[in-house]
Amino acid sequence: MLGVKQKLIYKAFGLTVASDLYFPELVMMSDQVELIDIEIKIDDITNLYFELSDGPNKFVVNENLVMFQISDIATFGIQDGKIITVSPMKDADEDQIRLLILGTCMCSILMQRKIVPLHGSSIAINGKAYAFIGDSGAGKSTLASAFLSEGFKILSDDIIAVSFSKDGFPIVTPSYPQQKLWQDSLNNFGMEANNFRSIFGRETKYSVPVTSRYVSTQLPLAGIFELVISENKDIKLRKIENLERFSTLFTHTFRNFLLRDLGLMDWHFHTSAGILNKIDIYQLQRPIYGFSATQLVSIILNTVNKGD
């Protein structure tokens, strides 16, 4: 079921990936590459997991290793920012395994490589990257799609990889040309669900390729917008100030519970300071009903253009 005879070479988050698994979501590269950044391999690490863990379905985390197990799916190990090992369980679903590799496993790789993984979507506006972060269901991907429908391009969806350029400016490295959208969002943008693959466990959420609307090069991060569902009847925008900026970045760091046992709390704080010294961060409150994603796009563009 799982695995290929020869390793496949992909690009994801700016890194070259050699994989025993096939990933239709990722950009495939020529196998004539000199440097492999990450290896994804199938191997049996179940015994090691139980030696190190207190029981099933728990995380094992130290400075060099993250391990976790999902019942009926697989045991995963992420080591040194370089290796992802997967031990699939019998009759495990390949879609679910890929989803976990591209989510929690890649997040762990980025952290181990000292790259901040924010939970959200990133769009290119005026040659710069803007991040939309927020809790699940806040509308990050729907907002990104609204930008795409207006002719803008996407850098990432779900995990935003933030690091620094040589001159100390925060930059976003594109992830891969795929988006996750709910059925309602597809309907709003006139897209047929039958044309896309549903995400495992979420029959009404779909993987949508965005190859023609994807930015494949790093862009400077110029601003962050936190999306929040509000009981207000109107859309409200406010600038986040002072220490609240730090808590906002921490809250929306993907799998932030890993940071402490990875020994990265100080790193995350100082890296957040480096990001926040260069950019502004806003909170965009939107009502539960009675608004459109196009209205949010207009507000964001007005804010961005004023800053430019």
Q: Are residues 152 and 287 in the same domain?
A: yes
Query: Residue 288 has what pLDDT?
Result: 87
CATH of the domain at 269: 3.40.50.300
Query: Residue 171 has what pLDDT?
Result: 98
- Looking only at the bridges linking them, the beta strands covering 178-182 and 170-173 are unpaired
Q: Are residues 130 and 232 in the same domain?
A: yes
pLDDT at 118 over 90: yes
**Domain end (from 68, 91, 112):** 112
Query: Residue 137 has what pLDDT?
Result: 82
Q: Are residues 251 and 152 in the same domain?
A: yes
Q: Are residues 102 and 121 in the same domain?
A: no
**Domain end (from 92, 112, 132):** 112
Q: Are residues 174 and 192 in the same domain?
A: yes
- Pairwise CA distance, residues 241 & 239, whole Å: 6
Q: Are residues 163 and 74 in the same domain?
A: no
Q: Are residues 303 and 184 in the same domain?
A: yes
Asked if residue 2 is part of any domain, the answer here is: no
Query: Tens digits of per-residue pLDDT, 73-82?
Result: 999 999 999 9
Q: Taking residues 99-110, report their average pLDDT.
A: 96
Confidence band for 2, pLDDT divided at 50, 70 and 90: low
Query: Tens digits of per-residue pLDDT, 131-158?
Result: 999 998 888 888 988 898 899 999 999 8
Q: Are residues 162 and 98 in the same domain?
A: no
Q: Taking residues 108-113, report their average pLDDT.
A: 98
Q: Are residues 137 and 12 in the same domain?
A: no
Q: Are 118 and 254 in contact (CB under 8 A)?
A: yes
pLDDT at 119 over 50: yes
Q: Are residues 274 and 133 in the same domain?
A: yes
**Domain of residue 170, residue span:** 116-307
Query: Tens digits of per-residue pLDDT, 238-285?
Result: 999 999 999 999 999 999 999 999 999 999 999 999 999 999 999 999
Query: Residue 286 has what pLDDT?
Result: 92
Query: Tens digits of per-residue pLDDT, 182-229?
Result: 455 444 545 444 544 555 454 455 567 677 889 999 999 999 999 999
Nearest to 119, CA basis, from 153, 156, 154, 160: 160
- Pairwise CA distance, residues 79 & 39, whole Å: 10
Q: Taking residues 152-173, report their average pLDDT.
A: 96
Asked if residue 1 is part of any domain, the answer here is: no
Q: What is the pTM of this model?
A: 0.90
Q: Are residues 62 and 139 in the same domain?
A: no
Asked if residue 3 is part of any domain, the answer here is: no
Q: Which amino acid is at 146?
A: A
- Pairwise CA distance, residues 71 & 211, whole Å: 33
Query: Residue 306 has what pLDDT?
Result: 85
Query: Residue 188 has what pLDDT?
Result: 53
Asked if residue 51 is part of any domain, the answer here is: yes
Is pLDDT larger for residue 231 or for residue 2? Answer: 231
Q: Are residues 288 and 181 in the same domain?
A: yes
- Looking only at the bridges linking them, the beta strands covering 236-239 and 280-287 are antiparallel
Query: Tens digits of per-residue pLDDT, 8-20?
Result: 999 999 999 999 9
- Looking only at the bridges linking them, the beta strands covering 38-42 and 65-70 are unpaired
Q: Are 146 and 294 in contact (CB under 8 A)?
A: yes
Query: Tens digits of per-residue pLDDT, 22-69?
Result: 998 998 997 677 799 999 999 999 999 999 998 777 899 998 999 999
